[in-house]
Amino acid sequence: MRALYREQTYIHGDYATVSLYPVYTPIRRRHGRSKPTSDVQQRLNDFNARERLGRQIDANFKPGDGFWTLTFRPEALPGTREDMIRVYQAYKRRMARYFKREGLGEMKTAAVIHGDAGTNAKRLHIHIVVDADIPAGDMEKLWGNGFVSVRPLVFGPLGARGIAEYMMAGMEWGRVMTTRNIIDPEPTERTGRISAAAVQELHDNWDNKQAYQGRWPGYEIADVRPFYNTFNRQYYLRVYLYKPRRDRKNGAQTV
């Protein structure tokens, strides 16, 4: 069976993520497909969710926007998951009124609700990114259920990928919630434009950024993640890119 390589590219703000992987031409005979185990599938789902959240933050927010953690006083803890979501939705409505009152425009948020609710619940908390730098005192009044940790949003060479991983770390039960106006970047795909030999060469030189320079004009290499599949004997690559500071429109900070 002949494999062609596909290049899938997400553009998210000043960053891009490129995946190189094999796709196969269809054959007449049907073969049974082996399904991944639930454990493997869950890890894949978690990875894809973190990647998607990172892209959304890159595409919708800028350095200096609000990055907050909201916690509950013991007496304010919701009793169920449904109560937790209702509390968050009420808070988001208060935020929207604040944005309108302060002339901040249409609010954008990306939030991750952590924990479980019930008798044996771990302490609930919320990580949230908001497209404004709101004073800590105003934030605590708007939240009204406990303590608020306030910090500015800072981007590194991998964009918001590290922020997304932090927001979703250790989430036994949780939910990612974004406002409807959030841009969710869609990929572009090209198949057959890069050879298997070229992908293998890139795979073998994954730690040599010079081997990649110039392949994606306008971008620098932030990180390369190689993988060799022993089952189909094919190479896989994920490349994280960023625009050099001189090419940035919003002056994103790097570390």
Percent of the chain having pLDDT more than 90?
A: 53
Specify the pairing of strand 174-178 against strand 109-114: antiparallel
Read off the pLDDT of residues 19-48 as tens digits, 9 standing for 90 and up: 999 987 665 555 555 566 677 777 888 889
DSSP 213-238: TTSSTT-EEEEEEEEEETTTTEEEEE
Read off the pLDDT of residues 114-156 as tens digits, 9 standing for 90 and up: 876 554 455 788 999 999 989 889 999 999 999 999 889 999 9
Confidence of residue 254 (pLDDT cuts 50, 70, 90): very low
Helix (H, G, I), strand (E, B) or coil at 147: coil
Interatomic CA distance for residues 4 and 192, integer angstroms: 5
What tokens appear for 21 in the block?
Answer: 């992987």
Summary count for the chain: helices (H), strands (E) = 5, 10
The domains found in the chain, sorted by start residue, are 66-153 (3.30.70)
What tokens appear for 188 in the block?
Answer: 């572009």
Find out whether 84 and 113 touch, Cβ atoms under 8 Å.
Answer: yes
Interatomic CA distance for residues 219 and 234, integer angstroms: 26
CA angle 204, 207, 213 (to 5 degrees): 95
Side chain identity, residue 171: M
Given a cut of 60, whether residue 199 has pLDDT beyond it is yes
| Between 32 and 85, residue with greater pLDDT | 85
Instruction: Return the pLDDT at 255.
Output: 38
Rg of the chain, C-alpha, whole Å: 21
